[in-house]
Amino acid sequence: MNLIEISEKFPTELTCIEYAETLRYGKVVKCAYCNSKNLSNRRKDHRHKCNDCNKSTSVTVNSNIHNTRLPLKTWFFALAVITDAKKGMSALQLQRNINVSYPTAFTMYHKLRELMAQQNKSIDELEGVVEMDETFIGSKPRKFAKPEMPQKRREDLDSELKHYKAEGFDFRPQGKNPAKINNNSKRGRGTDNIPVAGIVERNGNVVAEVMQNLTYANLKKMVQKYVDEDKSVLITDNYKGYNSMKKIIGHVVIDHKEMYSYRGLNSNSIESFWAIIERGIMGQYHSVSPHKLPNYVAEFVYKYNNRKDNEAMFHELLSQLFQPITL
Ligand SMILES: [Zn+2]
């Protein structure tokens, strides 16, 4: 939703409040403190008085934005602007768009990222052909040598392909624009930057996590957490952390010194996701403090997984804003 659509749909603060109340309570507004439906008529400040507990109640009480002093309209606008920005945006841009102070824009954006991180927890297990890789946010360009694959390796991969195809896995690229990898990708192992590991289901969802140590134990834990191992085959590069993956999941290794792609065996989908996240984080945010990085990553994961429906994203997050939190 763009700002014009938002303004038309929610022209006043009251229309925003009423919509938020429907999201939180359904048809009948209740007291946020005692759940009573016995409320007095809406007052001038748009709040209700509860006739049972005598408190003044509103849709933001005990919600994810309990302490907000901003008009709801500002939250609606912020959400529209942020969900519309596929490549992310800086708090400075948000500030200009919705006319609040920089610290306010910054705090709002982080609240919304937290909600995205929360929503990411309900991603279904990945299955089918899944690609796993890692990146280092903010690292220097990595030199790529021209790959060269020995005949023997080609034959080995052919037989692995035959094996997995017999099990029903399809490695052919789908869609008009199959992902291409960028050989000038600005990343590489062995830098001081923060590692992020990711897994993507071909044509499906992505998961990504900040991972301080890229050990087999940690990478394995991540596969077990997010992937249905019995219904999947994993493609990775030949990084040593993946060496023993065969113990838990069907696994094909693509050694980037030999090639980037072979008959559909590649990690182009996860590479495309890294390209989005690197451009987004480094391009928009310049520097990200390490403790905030997980939330930035969550934003790009959430947007990638909801890439086909901006409006659904807006409504889902809006609904989350007003959900009661347990105190
Ligand atoms: Zn009450």
Cβ(267)–Cβ(133) under 8 Å?
yes
Structure tokens at 299: 């934003």
pLDDT in tens, the chain (327 residues): 788 899 999 999 999 999 999 999 999 999 999 999 999 998 888 999 999 999 999 999 999 999 899 999 999 999 999 999 888 888 999 999 999 999 999 999 999 999 999 999 999 999 999 999 999 886 554 555 677 888 888 899 999 999 999 999 998 877 655 555 544 444 444 335 789 999 999 999 999 999 989 999 999 999 999 999 999 999 999 999 999 999 999 999 999 888 888 989 999 999 999 999 888 887 666 667 778 889 999 999 999 999 988 889 999 999 999 999 875
150 and 181, same domain (yes or no):
yes
pLDDT at 186: 44
Task: Compute, in angstroms, the gap from residue 49 CA to the centroid of ligand 1.
Answer: 8
Same domain membership, residue 280 and residue 181: yes
Determine the pLDDT at residue 187: 45
Bridge partners of 234? 130, 251
Residue 54 Cα to ligand 1 middle (Å): 6
Q: What is the pLDDT of residue 257?
A: 85
* Cα 185 to ligand 1 centre (Å): 57
Compute the distance between CA of residue 297 and CA of residue 293 in angstroms, rounded to an integer. 6
Residues 112 and 16 in one domain: yes
Spatial CA neighbour of 321 closest among 56, 72, 50, 30: 72
Residue 105 lies in a domain: yes
My answer on whether 26 and 135 are in the same domain is: no
* Domain-embedded: residue 268: yes
Measure 40 CA to ligand 1 centroid, in angstroms: 11
Query: Does residue 267 share a domain with residue 238?
Result: yes
- The answer to whether residue 325 is domain-embedded is no
Instruction: Map the chain to HEC letters.
Output: CCHHHHHHHCCCHHHHHHHHHHHHHCCCCCCCCCCCCCECCCCCCCCEEECCCCCEECCCCCECCCCCCCCHHHHHHHHHHHHHCCCCCCHHHHHHHHCCCHHHHHHHHHHHHHHHHHHHCCCCCEEEEEEEEEEEECCCCCCCCCCCCCHHHHHHHHHHHHHHHHCCCCCCCCCCCCCCCCCCCCCCCCCCCEEEEEEEECCCCEEEEECCCCCHHHHHHHHHHHEEEEEEEEEECCCHHHCCHHHCCEEEECCCCCCCEECCEECHHHHHHHHHHHHHHHHHHCCCCHHHHHHHHHHHHHHHHCCCCHHHHHHHHHHHHCCECCC
With 0-12 CB in 10 A as exposed, 13-18 as middle and 19+ as buried, what is 220?
A: middle
The residue with tokens 């010194």 is 257
Q: Which of 48, 43, 8 is nearest to 31 (CA)?
A: 48
Output the CA–CA distances (angstroms, integers) from residue 213 to 33, 187, 193, 276, in the order listed: 45, 17, 12, 23
Neighbours of 36 (CB within 10 A): 14
C-alpha 73 – ligand 1 centre gap (Å): 25
CA distance 133 to 125: 17
- Regarding whether 271 and 192 lie in a shared domain, the answer is yes
Do the beta carbons of residue 271 and residue 208 sit within 8 Å? no
- The amino acid that residue 246 corresponds to is K
Number of domains comprising the chain: 2
How far, in Å, is the centroid of ligand 1 from the Cα of 59?
Answer: 13
pLDDT the model gives residue 327: 56
**Do 218 and 143 fall within a single domain?**
yes
What pLDDT, on a 0 to 100 scale, did the predictor assign at position 184? Answer: 46
- On whether both 314 and 301 belong to a single domain, the answer is yes
**In this structure, what are the phi and psi dihedrals at residue 34, rounded to the nearest 5 degrees?**
-125, 5
Output the pLDDT for position 179: 54
| Distance (Å) from CA 108 to ligand 1 centroid | 28
Q: Name which of 92, 89, 29, 38 is nearest 60 in CA terms.
A: 29
**What's the pLDDT at 173?**
72
Same domain assignment for residues 267 and 159? yes
Distances (CA, A) of 186 to 82, 296, 311: 26, 18, 32
Pairing state between β 250-253 and 194-201: unpaired
Quick one: 117 and 130 in the same domain? no
Assess if residue 326 is contained within a domain: no
Whether 169 and 148 map to the same domain: the answer is yes
Per the domain annotation, does 94 fall within a domain?
yes
Residue 241 lies in a domain: yes
CA dist 153 and 320 (Å) reads 50
CATH, residue 227 = 3.30.420
End-to-end CA distance of the chain: 32
Same domain for 46 and 194? no
Res 2: pLDDT: 81
Domain membership flag for residue 32: yes
Q: Is 302 within a domain?
A: yes
User: Cα of 41 to ligand 1 centre, how many Å?
Assistant: 14
Give 98 Cα–ligand 1 centroid separation in angstroms: 33
Domain span at residue 229?
Answer: 126-288
The rounded Å distance from CA 117 to ligand 1 centre is 31
CA of 75 to the centre of ligand 1 (A): 25
